[in-house]
């Protein structure tokens, strides 16, 4: 697994994709945090990072889909999938190596945003007047959302050899699982089942973690989503007939 992990990291860092993704993410978040009216922290007058944690999952939907669309699609297109599958590494180790490489790239994108935390902390009145517990919870929730998107994106990449198709499928699945359940639940169409429908979506659990309390039920939800899509990827990858 470690061999696949290091191979993927080198592949990311030797291409422009990783740098474009991270720069685009930081630029988008920076604009919402400090420039755009009605969302920048200076206009809001509150010492928090709410704009960051609100917009980041939406940016992740597109950026992580762009990262993961080449996980298996590119291997199949380039013909290197045969070399990979005949190496002395199990299918699950290949999948996990690629998964953790994607999660590492998500971490690389999140780490520079700590500058925003220290900036807001310094600008707060009095200095340091910021809810660090809630912010830590939001970062954990954001990492879980990003990791889930990586697992979904890998599954999308495993079912097609076309990167554009993989990107579209991944974007749709990430959007649907993150927000569609919440929208459906808020429509109040099914009475008591509305809560259950909202509970099925990532947004419900992400908001719960963002309050600063890490509930084991929320952690279990995200781990279940990750495991579900990793197992789906293994089923597709293991049943390959290329």
pLDDT tens string 77-98: 666 666 666 667 788 888 999 9
Q: What does the pLDDT average to over 135-149?
A: 93
pLDDT tens, position by position, 116-134: 888 888 888 787 788 888 8
- Predicted confidence at residue 154, as pLDDT, reads 93
Let me know how long the chain is: 242
* Residue of 145, 73, 77 whose CA lies nearest to 109: 145
DSSP string computed for 114-144? HHHHHHHHHHSSSTT-S-HHHHHHHHHHHHH
Q: Residue written as tokens 């554009």? A: 164
Q: How far apart are CA 212 and CA 116, in angstroms?
A: 18
pLDDT band for position 242 (cuts 50, 70, 90): very low
**How far is Cα 134 from Cα 98, in angstroms, rounded to an integer?**
31
Instruction: Provide the domain limits for residue 130.
Output: 2-238
Calpha distance 37→28 (Å, rounded): 14
Closest of 95, 100, 102, 98 to residue 17, by C-alpha? 102
pLDDT at 146 over 80: yes
User: What proportion of the chain, given as a percentage, has pLDDT over 90?
Assistant: 35
Closest C-alpha among 167, 165, 134, 146 to residue 22: 146
Q: What's the total number of domains in the chain?
A: 1
Q: What angle do CA 5, 87, 163 make, to 5 degrees?
A: 60
The CA–CA distances, whole Å, from 52 to 3, 33, 99, 193 equal 34, 6, 24, 31
Higher pLDDT, 46 or 179: 179
Tokens of 60: 């992740």
Q: Report pLDDT for 228.
A: 97
Q: Which residue has the higher pLDDT, 41 or 200?
A: 200
Mean pLDDT of 38-65: 85
Q: List, in order, residues 6 or more apart from 197 with CB less than 8 Å away.
A: 181, 184, 185, 190
Q: Is the peptide bond before 52 cis (omega within 30 degrees of 0)?
A: no
Give the per-residue pLDDT at 201: 93
pTM: 0.91
pLDDT at 142: 94
Q: What is the pLDDT of residues 161-212, one digit of tens each?
A: 888 999 999 999 999 999 998 888 888 777 778 888 899 999 999 988 887 7
The predicted-structure confidence for 226-240, as pLDDT tens digits, reads as follows 999 999 999 988 765
Contact status, residue 93 vs residue 1, Cβ threshold 8 Å? yes
Give yes or no for residue 241 having a pLDDT over 50. no
Q: Which residue has the higher pLDDT, 47 or 105?
A: 105
């Amino acid at each position: 697994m470690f061999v696949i992990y290091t191979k993927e990291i080198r592949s990311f860092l030797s291409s422009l994709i990783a740098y474009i993704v991270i720069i685009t993410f930081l630029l988008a978040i920076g604009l919402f945090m400090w420039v755009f009216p009605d969302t920048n922290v200076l206009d809001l007058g509150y010492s928090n990072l709410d704009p960051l944690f609100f917009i980041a999952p939406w940016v992740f939907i597109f950026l992580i889909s762009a990262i993961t669309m080449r996980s298996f699609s590119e291997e199949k297109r380039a013909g290197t999938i045969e070399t990979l599958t005949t190496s002395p590494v199990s299918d699950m180790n290949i999948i996990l190596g690629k998964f953790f490489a994607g999660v590492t790239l998500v971490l690389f994108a999140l780490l520079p945003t700590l500058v925003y935390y220290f900036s807001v902390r310094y600008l707060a009145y009095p200095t340091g007047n910021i809810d660090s517990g809630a912010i830590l919870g939001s970062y954990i929730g954001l990492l879980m959302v990003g990791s889930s998107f990586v697992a979904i994106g890998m599954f999308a990449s495993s079912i097609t050899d076309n990167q554009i198709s993989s990107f579209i499928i991944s974007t749709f699945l990430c959007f649907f699982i993150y927000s569609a359940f919440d929208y459906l639940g808020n429509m109040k169409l099914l009475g008591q089942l509305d809560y259950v429908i909202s509970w099925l979506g990532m947004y419900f659990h992400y908001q719960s973690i963002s309050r600063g309390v890490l509930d084991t039920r929320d952690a279990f939800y995200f781990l279940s989503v990750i495991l579900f899509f990793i197992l789906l990827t293994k089923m597709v990858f293991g049943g390959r007939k290329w």
